[in-house]
Structure formats: C-alpha cells, structure tokens
C-alpha cells in the first residue's frame, strides 16, 4: 500500500485513539488501521486493529515508555511508519471538544487558532487540554505537517439563537455563556449517511441518541441540528457514565455554600463520580449494570432510560413531531434491552418496536406500521474528521460523504 493518507487523533486524559485512512484512486478514504494507547502514565497498553477489526498488535508497555500524550503519539507514529512505509501523510485531523462561539467549521491550526482554543479550556477542562496537547506535540516534532481541528461543537452552530441562550443577563451570552452542544462529529456523520441508509426520513424530523459513556441527544431537521441536550459543557443533558446530566444549579450552590466543596472537588464529582457510577455504586459500564442484581444498579438503568425518554419528548416538541429515532454509539448500537425500553417509553410518539429486528441489531428496528420509525446506525466520528481534514487540504471542496 502506498499513497496519501489522513491520520485522525483523539487524545484524552489517559488515552490516545488514532486511525489511519488511506486515499484511493477514486478520492475515497478507506480505513487502514485503528489504534489505542491506553493507561498513559499508569499501566500503558498499545492495541492496533485492521479495517476488519482483526488485532494487529496487543502489547503492555512500561510506564516509563508512555508518560504523557506526546510519548503515545511518538509510539503510534513509529508503528504506523513501520507498517505503512509508503504512506505520505497529507494532514492530521484532531477531535477538539470545544470550538466556542467563533469556530463553526473545521480549521487548520496555526498560532492564533491554538491560542484561541486554549482560552476555551475552562469550558471543557477534562477534554480540551488533552486535545490541544496532541496538537502541540506534533507541532514540535513535525511543524510542517498540516493539523486540522474538528470541533464537537461546530455541527450545532446551526441552532437558532433561541436554542442557545440562557435566561441570564445578556452580558454573559456575549461573553460566551451559551448552549454549545457536543458530539457534533457523530451527529454530522449520522446526518451524512441517513440519505443512503434511510432516505425516507433523512429530510424529516429526526432525533439521534448518541448513547455511550458520554451521551446526548440531538434534534435534526433536514439533516441540520436545531437543538441538543448538552449545553454550555459536556455535563448537561441526559445522565452519562460518570457525569450527572442536567442538574439544578441550586445543588451546586448548596455543595459550595453549605458543604464547603472546592471548585476542584466539584469538578471531580461532576465529571468522574456521578452518572451511572454514582447512582449505582457498581460501575459506569452499562453492560455490567444490566448484568448486576444490585438494586441500585437497576435504579441507575431505570434513571438512564427515564431521562432519555423525557428528553426525547422535549426534542420532539421542539421539532413539532417525530419522523424517526436513531440510536448510535456504544450503548445505542450494542444494547438491545436499552433500545427496547426507550422505544417502549416513546410509544406515544408512534414508534412500535420490532423485537426480532432489535435483537439482531438491524438497521430498522420498528414495525412497518409505525408512524415514526426507529433505527440503529453505527457512528464513525473518525471518518468524519478525516473527511474534514482532507477537505481542508482541497480548498473549495466539501467533505465527500
């Protein structure tokens, strides 16, 4: 294999995900390998799979080998260079959680862009620093290599202003306190494939449920985001693995004023100790909760389903009705029991579940007589980022879907 390629990087606090996409003669991007360096700084592991999901590498590393993100990038780069020696990198696309109010499209990173994105760190303290650390590491070692930032928030810039404001003094809105929405690359990918997967619903009123460790819902009309459950930060909306979702601000005032909680302790509580983990006391992994006989584990699952159904109702009201509900991401794609319970709670919207299709994980999981349909559509955020990175290197061309 030889030619041009795009590398996609998603850097977290203790992990680095990467994917290499090769450009074929027709101009299409094809996955060559997908990898993960996990346990950075603690118990690092390096795993790589090919396009078919077959393991190419599984190796435990010494903590001294991978102390920080830049070490993981160097390790991934060395492996890719060895196994794909003929590939010339056109660009690197990065998942960057927050683009703020100014960045509504992917952008090539320069000094000004990097400085702007660093100012947004307080809005996504557990994501943004690590996203930017990967960019800085590559700028140090390969300054000539184009790097493209693709924002979780960008897809939601199509919201009407009414969906993005808070009922606070206007000065706060102008200073950036507004609803941004997240998981944009996932929602954009789903919107891009719906015309092929389900052409009858693509132009209509669709709610996409991105259900994973991080979870949110997005209301689409004609493939454009018109509202979403996440707001100013990735903490808002429906409950998640370790994040609470929507929370009365009075709770935060109480924790600070009456319990003496510091900002650091509050951040840890909200990002790492709440959600399914906090409720259950067992795990943030839905698979383990579904298997558990612990009453609180079942309570956590019930809470998850209840609030998702509640927010689906709210977004259906925003859309003025519903044509389709689409499940995606880890739980959405792989937990038929959760899908079944959510669809059952949304029966009033005209969805009737096809039990057999749901168990098989078919694309369409509703019955033919449903007035609103239900679907399972695997997401592919990495491919969406790769398409945007390629488009940035080909001025005037939109991403090929």
Mean pLDDT of 257-273: 94
Is residue 393 one of the residues assigned to a domain?
no
Q: What does the pLDDT look like over 130-148, one tens digit per residue?
A: 999 999 999 998 999 999 9
Helices (H), 23-141: 69-83, 111-118, 128-141
Both 34 and 154 in one domain: the answer is: yes
152 catalytic per annotation: yes
Is residue 189 one of the residues assigned to a domain?
no
Both 160 and 222 in one domain: the answer is: no
Mean pLDDT of 22-49: 88
Q: Which residue range(s) make up the domain with 19?
A: 2-176
> For the ranges 21-35, 153-167, 214-228, 371-385, which has the lowest average pLDDT?
21-35
pTM: 0.92
Is residue 195 one of the residues assigned to a domain?
no
Mean pLDDT of 364-378: 97
- Can you give the CATH number for the domain in which 138 is found? 3.30.420.40
CB contact set of 86 (below 8 Å; sequence gap of 6+): 1, 2, 3
Both 86 and 222 in one domain: the answer is: no
Q: What does the pLDDT look like over 297-329, one tens digit per residue?
A: 999 999 999 999 999 999 999 999 999 999 999
Q: What does the pLDDT look like over 152-189, one tens digit per residue?
A: 999 999 999 999 999 999 999 998 899 999 999 999 99
| Last residue of one domain, picked from the residues 176, 192, 217 | 176
- Active-site residue, from 38, 152, 227, 323: 152
Q: Is the pLDDT of residue 239 over 70?
A: yes
Q: Is the pLDDT of residue 86 over 90?
A: no
Q: Is the pLDDT of residue 87 over 80?
A: no
Both 172 and 231 in one domain: the answer is: no
Both 110 and 248 in one domain: the answer is: no
> How many angstroms separate the CA atoms of 88 and 110, rounded?
21
Both 102 and 230 in one domain: the answer is: no
Report pLDDT for 401. 55
Report pLDDT for 138. 92
Q: Please, which pLDDT band fits residue 237 given cuts at 50, 70 and 90?
A: very high
CB 294, CB 282: distance < 8 Å: yes
Q: Please, which pLDDT band fits residue 396 given cuts at 50, 70 and 90?
A: low
Is residue 399 one of the residues assigned to a domain?
no
Express as a percent the part of the chain with pLDDT over 70: 98
**How many residues appear in the chain?**
401
Both 49 and 105 in one domain: the answer is: yes
Is residue 357 one of the residues assigned to a domain?
yes
Mean pLDDT of 348-359: 97
Tell me how many domains the chain contains. 2
CB 59, CB 46: distance < 8 Å: yes
Both 204 and 290 in one domain: the answer is: yes
Alpha-carbon separation of residue 147 from 7, 107, 187, 344, 401 (angstroms): 10, 8, 22, 44, 21
Is residue 99 one of the residues assigned to a domain?
yes
Is residue 400 one of the residues assigned to a domain?
no
Mean pLDDT of 19-32: 90
Is residue 312 one of the residues assigned to a domain?
yes
Both 170 and 90 in one domain: the answer is: yes
Q: Is the pLDDT of residue 400 over 60?
A: no
Both 102 and 170 in one domain: the answer is: yes
Both 118 and 220 in one domain: the answer is: no
Both 153 and 244 in one domain: the answer is: no
| Last residue of one domain, picked from the residues 144, 160, 176 | 176
């Amino acid at each position: 294999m030889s030619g041009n390629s795009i590398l996609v990087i998603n850097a977290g606090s203790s992990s680095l995900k990467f994917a290499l996409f090769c450009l074929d003669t027709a101009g299409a991007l094809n996955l060559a390998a997908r990898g993960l360096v996990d346990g950075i700084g603690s118990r690092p592991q390096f795993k790589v799979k090919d396009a078919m999901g077959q393991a190419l590498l599984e190796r435990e590393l010494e903590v001294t080998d991978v102390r920080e993100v830049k070490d993981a990038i160097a390790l991934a780069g060395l492996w890719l260079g060895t196994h794909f020696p003929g590939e010339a990198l056109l660009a690197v696309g990065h998942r960057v959680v927050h683009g703020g109010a100014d960045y509504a499209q992917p952008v090539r990173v320069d000094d000004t862009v990097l400085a702007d994105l660093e100012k947004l760190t307080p809005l996504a303290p557990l994501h943004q620093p690590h996203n930017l650390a990967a960019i800085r590491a590559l700028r140090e070692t390969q300054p000539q290599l184009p790097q493209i930032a693709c924002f979780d928030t960008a897809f939601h810039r199509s919201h009407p202003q009414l969906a993005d404001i808070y009922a606070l003094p206007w000065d706060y809105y102008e200073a950036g306190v507004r609803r941004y929405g997240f998981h944009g690359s996932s929602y954009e990918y789903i919107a891009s494939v719906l015309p092929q997967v389900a052409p009858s619903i693509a132009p209509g009123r669709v709610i996409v449920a991105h259900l994973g460790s991080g979870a949110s819902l997005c209301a689409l009309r004609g493939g454009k985001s018109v509202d979403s459950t996440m707001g100013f930060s990735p903490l808002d909306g429906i409950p998640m693995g370790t994040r609470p979702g929507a929370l009365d601000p009075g709770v935060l005032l109480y924790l600070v004023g009456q319990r003496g909680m510091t900002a650091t302790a509050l951040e840890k509580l909200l990002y790492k100790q709440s959600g399914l983990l906090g409720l259950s006391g067992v795990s943030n992994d839905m698979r383990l909760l579904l298997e558990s006989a612990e009453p609180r584990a079942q309570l956590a699952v019930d809470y998850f389903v209840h609030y998702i159904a509640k927010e689906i109702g709210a977004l259906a009201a925003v859309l003025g009705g519903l044509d389709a509900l689409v499940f995606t991401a880890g739980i959405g794609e792989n937990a038929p029991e959760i899908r079944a319970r959510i669809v059952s709670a949304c029966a009033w919207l005209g969805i009737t579940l096809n039990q057999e299709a749901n168990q098989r994980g078919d694309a369409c999981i509703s019955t033919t007589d449903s007035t609103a349909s239900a679907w399972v559509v695997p997401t592919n955020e990495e491919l969406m980022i790769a398409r945007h990175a390629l488009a940035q290197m080909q001025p005037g061309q939109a991403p090929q879907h």
